[in-house]
């Protein structure tokens, strides 16, 4: 007789020694979007040497030193994020639209002297949405003989019957037992085996040994686990994800104008992170047999950094400007929270109907949520830029930026290194090269046309995959290896004696190879889901200079 076995695990974790964070989480938080005022975005952000725009406060702080008058502005944005995924002949398209306040800030220009080398001391503040996580994505298709349960079985290896029986803190708090193992074990998706080879027989291992009797699992000293429900060569997988949130950046700046030729600046940045992800994964084996797993994850917290920059004209009479800047790592203190829900339909003999389990870890933990605090250190950033103006009609900007994502570090709340997570970053991520180009042309003094382009290389190594530790509370096995990113921008602007307005359009695109889980079945390759990611954004900046 077929029985429905259900287990609910909806709790936030915090047990010492349990792993949760991944290199993919770190990469998502560390990468920024092109954002700021409509003028800045319209020129592709290539203004680090030109300066004179509030958004350069976050790329080259010396750009605020170009100001000779006060400035106040705000930018409103409307964005449409789209994904198109292709797998097994199935194509899914998802879109997410939203309004947001993209930027608000001000600059106070203080004239110091006409005759001394120090001409201006300027102060600035700027808020911007430096990262948006809003995104929906779906895929489904025939996976063949591969299954998420194979990965779970490998993660369960080494969990002897004594570990299950003598769980010190409860199965979902025990630092020796990962959540995927616990969920799959109690829903008959994996079980002990003498080998690590999957079997077609739900109640027997591949040697023909019975794994369960009327009292439940037969506790023999097996060191390995096997998938008990997969291996039918007809696994049909379905995945959906919903991501929300973003990173807010608050920059405080002081900058100096020396002889109208050298400009120096420093920016102190504060960051607020809010990232929520909900994933749903389903495997169907036919005959109404299968399971689904939902994961709920949240990362929230704050961070800070310092940015130093300079702009100088190597030839006093030339309009050529050269900019150099360096950003310290962002030192984040974050909280990771997770939960999961699994429901499994498996064949169980009539005599074993009592083996169906229902577990609510929220109740087991005394109706409380558990959280884990950690620190994340992003890479250093170096930026070199050039700017050139032709009279009052044409401005050209170009810049190069580099940050080595493999140098990111995880630490605990006591500032001790979390070596396993940091090592995973080194194996998964690499250095990113970003090039920005921009131009602004004024046919008359009051109106301007702008165009820009950005290119960023991929942050992921060619053979990157998501490694989940055997005692991790993470249940979101999916991962996506993003490829290089291209951004195209255009814009127009109006400048009056006091009021100004700018409008910009940005089109961002990149492709990804998506996998719902890591396939560890030797000799069998799982095809990637090919995903095209796009984001269109319209920005309107309103401001005044006085």
Does the reported pTM lie above 0.75?
yes
Percentage of the chain beyond pLDDT 70 is 85
Indicate whether 368 pLDDT > 70: no
Mean pLDDT score, 374-382: 96
pLDDT value, residue 364: 57
Within 8 A by CB and 6+ apart from 39, the residues are 53, 55, 440, 448, 450, 491, 493, 502, 504, 541
Residue 28 CA to residue 243 CA, distance in Å, equals 11
pLDDT value, residue 233: 66
Residue 340 CA to residue 357 CA, distance in Å, equals 16
Indicate whether 387 pLDDT > 90: yes
Within 8 A by CB and 6+ apart from 463, the residues are none
Lowest mean pLDDT among 47-61, 116-130, 522-536: 522-536
Indicate whether 207 pLDDT > 80: no
pLDDT value, residue 222: 52
Residue 300 CA to residue 305 CA, distance in Å, equals 17
Whether the CB-CB separation of 302 and 252 falls below 8 Å is answered with no
Cα end-to-end span (Å), the chain = 80
Whether the CB-CB separation of 271 and 333 falls below 8 Å is answered with no
Residue 504 CA to residue 490 CA, distance in Å, equals 6
Lowest mean pLDDT among 114-128, 228-242, 259-273, 410-424: 228-242
pLDDT per position as a tens digit, 46-55: 999 999 999 9
pLDDT bin (cut points 50, 70, 90) of residue 232 is low
Within 8 A by CB and 6+ apart from 438, the residues are 42, 43, 44, 45, 46, 47, 396, 397, 398, 450, 451, 452, 453, 489
Give 3-state DSSP helix, strand, coil % of the chain, rounded to 5. Answer: 15, 55, 35
More confident residue, 91 or 219: 91
pLDDT value, residue 347: 64
pLDDT value, residue 131: 94
CB atoms within 10 A of CB 219: 13
pLDDT per position as a tens digit, 136-183: 999 999 988 889 989 998 898 888 777 877 776 777 778 888 889 888
Q: Which of 136, 142, 137, 144 lies closest to 87 in space, CA to CA? A: 142
Whether the CB-CB separation of 181 and 159 falls below 8 Å is answered with yes
Mean pLDDT score, 245-250: 96
Residue owning tokens 């060569």? 233
Percentage of the chain beyond pLDDT 90 is 61
Whether the CB-CB separation of 429 and 422 falls below 8 Å is answered with no
DSSP state string for 46-66? --TTT--SGGGGGT-GGGGGG
Q: Which of 274, 276, 273 lies closest to 242 in space, CA to CA? A: 276
Indicate whether 214 pLDDT > 70: no
Query: Torsions phi, psi of 52, nearest 5?
Result: 75, 15
Lowest mean pLDDT among 95-109, 158-172, 385-399, 401-415: 158-172
pLDDT per position as a tens digit, 437-473: 999 999 999 999 999 999 999 999 998 999 998 888 8
pLDDT value, residue 526: 86
pLDDT value, residue 137: 94
Q: Which CATH superfamily includes the segment(s) 13-146+231-338+370-545?
A: Outer membrane protein transport protein (OMPP1/FadL/TodX) (2.40.160.60)
Indicate whether 1 pLDDT > 70: no
More confident residue, 448 or 368: 448
**3-state class (DSSP) for residue 352:** helix
Query: What does pLDDT average to over the chain?
Result: 86
Q: Residue 99, by phi and psi: left (phi above 0), alpha (psi -120 to 50) or beta?
A: beta
CB atoms within 10 A of CB 394: 13
Indicate whether 522 pLDDT > 80: no
pLDDT per position as a tens digit, 63-118: 999 999 999 999 999 999 999 999 988 999 998 898 999 999 999 999 988 888 99
Whether the CB-CB separation of 59 and 523 falls below 8 Å is answered with no
The DSSP secondary-structure symbol of 196 reads S
The DSSP secondary-structure symbol of 38 reads H
């Amino acid at each position: 007789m077929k029985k429905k076995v259900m287990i609910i695990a909806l709790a936030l974790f915090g047990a010492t020694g349990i792993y949760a964070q991944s290199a993919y989480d770190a990469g998502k938080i560390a990468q920024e979007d092109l954002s700021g005022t409509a003028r800045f975005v319209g020129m592709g952000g290539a203004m680090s040497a030109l300066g004179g725009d509030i958004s350069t406060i976050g790329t080259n702080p010396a750009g605020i030193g170009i100001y000779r008058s006060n400035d106040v502005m705000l930018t409103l944005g409307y964005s449409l994020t789209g994904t198109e995924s292709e797998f097994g002949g199935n194509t899914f398209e998802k879109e997410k639209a939203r309004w947001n306040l993209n930027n608000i800030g001000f600059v106070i220009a203080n004239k110091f002297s006409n005759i001394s080398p120090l001409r201006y001391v300027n102060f600035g503040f700027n808020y911007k949405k430096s990262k948006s996580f809003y995104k929906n994505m779906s895929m489904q298709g025939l996976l063949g003989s591969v299954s998420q349960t194979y990965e779970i079985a490998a993660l369960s290896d080494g969990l002897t019957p004594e570990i299950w029986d003598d769980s010190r803190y409860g199965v979902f708090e025990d630092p020796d037992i990962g959540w995927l193992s616990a969920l799959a074990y109690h829903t008959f998706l994996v079980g002990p085996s003498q080998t690590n080879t999957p079997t077609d027989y739900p109640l027997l291992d591949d040697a023909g040994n019975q794994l369960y009797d009327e009292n439940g699992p037969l506790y023999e000293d097996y060191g390995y686990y096997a998938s008990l429900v997969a291996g039918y060569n007809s696994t049909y997988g379905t995945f959906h994800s919903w991501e929300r949130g973003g990173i807010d950046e608050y920059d405080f700046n002081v900058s100096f104008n020396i002889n109208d030729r050298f400009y120096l600046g420093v920016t102190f940045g504060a960051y607020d992170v809010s990232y929520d992800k909900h994933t749903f994964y389903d495997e169907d084996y036919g005959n109404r047999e299968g399971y689904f797993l939902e994961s709920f994850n949240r990362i929230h917290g704050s961070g800070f950094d310092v940015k130093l920059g300079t702009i100088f004209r190597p030839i006093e009479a030339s309009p050529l400007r050269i900019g150099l800047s360096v950003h310290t790592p962002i030192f984040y203190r974050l909280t990771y929270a997770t939960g999961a829900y699994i429901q499994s339909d498996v064949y169980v003999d009539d005599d074993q109907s009592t083996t169906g389990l229902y577990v609510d870890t929220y109740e087991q933990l005394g109706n409380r949520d558990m959280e884990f605090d950690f620190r994340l250190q992003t890479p250093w950033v170096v930026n070199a830029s050039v700017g050139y103006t032709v009279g009052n009609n044409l401005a050209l900007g170009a810049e190069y930026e580099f940050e080595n994502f493999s140098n990111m570090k995880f630490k605990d709340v006591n500032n001790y290194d979390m070596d396993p997570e940091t090592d995973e970053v080194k194996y998964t991520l690499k250095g990113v090269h970003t090039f920005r180009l921009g131009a602004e042309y004024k046919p008359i003094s009051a109106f301007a046309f702008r165009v820009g382009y950005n290119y960023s290389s991929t942050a992921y190594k060619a053979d990157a995959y998501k490694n989940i530790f055997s005692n991790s509370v993470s249940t979101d096995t999916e991962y996506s290896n993003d490829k290089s990113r291209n951004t195209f921008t255009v814009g127009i602007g109006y400048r009056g004696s006091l009021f100004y307005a700018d409008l910009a359009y940005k089109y961002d695109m990149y492709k990804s190879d998506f996998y719902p889980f890591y396939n560890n079945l030797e000799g069998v390759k799982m095809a990637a889901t090919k995903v095209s990611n796009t984001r269109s954004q319209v920005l309107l900046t309103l401001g005044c200079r006085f």
